[in-house]
Each structure stands twice: as C-alpha cells, then as structure tokens.
Amino acid sequence: MLNTGVSAKRSWWPWHANDEKGELAGAIVTALLSVFAVFWFLWAAKKPRKVIPPLPPGPRGFPLVGYLPFLGTDLHRKFEELAGVYGPIYKVWLGNKLWVVVSSPLLVKEVVRDQDTIFANHDSYIAGLAVTYGGSDITLLPYGPDWRKLRKIFTRDLLSNANLDGSFTLRREEVKKSIRKVYDKIGTPVNVGELVFVTVMNTIMSMVWGGTRHGDQEGTDIGSEFKSMLWELMVLLGKPNVSDLFPVLARFDLQGIEKEAKKIFQWCERILDCAIDERMNLAKAKLEEGPGTTEQRKDFLQILLELTEREDAATSLSMTQVKALLLDIVIGALDTTTTTMEWLAAELMQHQEVMTKVSEELTRVVGLDNLVEESHLSKLHYLDVVIKRDLAFTPSTPFHSTSLSKPI
C-alpha cells in the first residue's frame, strides 16, 4: 500500500519509550525481529524479482524495520531534513509499509485536490478501527458510495446553513460562560487548552443531543460523563503503535493499545446507546400525545435518527453509522479546535505587537464593552490573516495521511 504522510508527536520506535510497557515491547520486538530477519533473508534470496514502477528516492533503512530507528520524536523536523536531501517527494520505509512523503505546495495540491479521488482513503490503524466499528465512520471508510453518502449527510443535513444558524444561541451562550470564567480568574494563570476544550465540548454536546432532551440536567450529566473519557481516547488515538507498522504483531497487542481503545470505546458506546434509547422513547411519547406539542430545534442526534427510518438505501443510515458519525463529530471538533486555539494564544503571547494590532482592530470593529459576534468575523481582516497564518505554520496536526483508493 502506498501512503503519504505520517502524524504523531511521539517516537515510533519502542527504544524511545520511558515506561515499563515500552521497554518490554522494545525487548520483545528486538527478539522477534532478529528471528524474522533470518527468515526474511532466506525468503528474499529465493523469491523471483518482480518488475515494479520506479519510486522516488529515499533514505536506506534496515531490513524489516526500515527507517524507524532513525526517526526520533520530532517527525516534522526529520522529514524536513530528508526533504532537503532527497527533494520535495521521497519514499521511506516504516516497518514493512512504504510511505511517500510529499512536502512542496505544488505536489500537496496535486494529491489533496487535483487527484483527491485517487488518494481519498485514509490509512487504517488498530486504535482507529477499534473505536469506529471496524472503520464504518467517514474518516476510515474506503472511498465509494457509502463514503459519499456519509459526506453528503454531513454537508447537507448536519452542517447546513439553516442548522448552524439554529444552533447560534447555543454557541453564543457557551462562549459567554467561558468569558465569565476568564474574567473571574483575572490575576491568575488560565489554562487556555483546557478552557477551549471545555467550551468546545459543551457546545458540541448541546448541538449533538441537547436540543430536544427532557431537561438541561440530563444533558449536563451525559455531557460530563462523556468528557471524562474523550481526552483519554484522543491521546490513545495519537499514540504510535508497533502493531500498525508490523501487522504480523497485531494479534499480540504488545503495547495494550487495542485493549485500552476497546475498553474506552465500549464505555462511549454505552453512553451513546443510553442517549439514543432515551431519544427514541421521547419520540414515542410525543407520538402518543398526538399533535399540539411544541416543535423544538432538531439536534444532530434527532436528524440522524430520522435518517435511519428511510427506506431508500442511498439516503438511509444504520444505527452503527449513526453512532460512528456522532463520535466523528465530537472527536474531530475537539482535537482540531483545541490545538489550533492553544497554538494561536501561544503565538500571540510571544508577539506582543501582533496582539496589540488584533486588540486595536477588535476595539474599532466590535467596541470595548461588546461581545464579538459571528457577524463581526467578516470585518476582522487582520485577525483573519493572523488565524490563517497560525493554521499554516502551526497546524493542528503537522501531517496528513492518505492512501490509494485504486492502483496508479
């Protein structure tokens, strides 16, 4: 399989681990790879040579492990160094997987826009498959009719202008609460990452299942319960896994990542099942009451549940797909938004002249004692440039990983 890009903030090589599990995994992998190396050399010597298309240049690595021992922990810096040696496109073997790294804007445009259908798939990984019903969500589902259906539901039903406008009040109230928290902590340090995480979490929870619940307390209970595991799940999904690089070792789960992912996933699924069952019982009760009940704004859960009742397979959803999409919404929004805002705050703190200009623009456009509304965003040109610069230089993830949806 041909892949482009990798994403991780930790070392992909067990020898860099500091915990006992990592050291044990490193020792086991060393012993197994030594045995595999002998058999690999014997097998390679007898195997007839196949004609393969020419590949871009790249660094040499060791048999079986490839370039893994040389990567270190700062992957983006290492790949930048390799790009200076081999050019804007080069190959690198990580375990028994071949990756092609693309770093120039022109080639990235070719991959993600001009040839996006060819590179539409995402490389599957053990932890991701464990928490997405075997890859039934929009991130790991192979490109095809089902993927296009889920994408259309996202853009047309969930993220439509009408639906987003309907949830404006929810977003505004959560931002107000966060501002009050910051105001109450004047003179004391504020954890920006934690503040943004809680704000986005509360907003997403309200948009997902807060619109038609019996009461605010029930929504708060499920939301707080959900929060307690989501951060741990996000960390686990970003942790390098030996089983992803050496699929032959996947059955052993040397680092325990798959076991932990399944444990967290079962917990999250239980919460989703409770919310879905309650919503279906509520709909049944309203149906028995008959017409006359007040129609409330539909949240994401209600929209998706209504799609399960359609008879047309081209537009209907299974209950598994509903739960997979709900997890996509929550995890996707939390990870990218929290990381982006934390980086932006850090950059502004280090560049006081930029912060001064942003403050002056906010004073001029919004006013000193007014709250920034979404309608102001189109007039905040300098802030827009600062955010785009932050996204370009400190993206939420430094790599974008794709794989081929069909042979080239």
Beta strands 2-4 and 97-102 are: parallel
Q: Which fold has domain 148-393?
A: Cytochrome p450 (1.10.630)
**DSSP assignment of 224-271:** HHHHHHHHHHHHHHTS--HHHH-GGGGGG-TTSHHHHHHHHHHHHHHH
Could you list the pLDDT tens digit for every one of the 408 residues in the chain? 334 444 444 555 555 555 566 666 667 777 777 777 777 777 766 666 666 678 899 998 888 889 988 988 888 889 999 999 999 999 999 888 889 999 898 998 998 888 888 888 888 889 999 999 999 888 889 988 999 999 999 888 888 888 888 888 888 888 898 889 898 989 999 888 888 888 888 888 888 877 444 444 444 455 556 666 777 887 888 788 889 988 888 999 999 999 999 999 998 888 888 888 888 888 788 777 766 555 566 789 989 999 998 888 888 999 999 999 998 888 888 878 888 888 899 999 999 999 999 999 999 999 988 888 888 999 999 999 999 988 888 777 666 677 776 666
Which long-range contacts link 177-181 to residues 24+ away (Cβ below 8 Å)? 177/202, 179/371
Per-residue confidence (pLDDT) for residue 289, from 0 to 100: 73
Residues 401 and 123 sit within 8 Å (Cβ to Cβ):
yes
CA distance linking residue 68 with residue 55, whole number of Å: 19
pLDDT for the residue 84: 94
Q: Where are the domains of the chain?
A: 2-116, 148-393
C-alpha closest to that of 322 among 264, 272, 270, 262:
272
At residue 288, the pLDDT reads 72
For 285, how many CA atoms within 13 A lie in the half-sphere containing its CB?
A: 9
**Cα gap 6→3, rounded to integer Å:** 9
The rounded distance, in Å, linking the Cα atoms of 178 and 196 is 8
pLDDT at 21: 61
Confidence (pLDDT) at 213: 44
60 alpha-carbon distance from chain centroid: 31
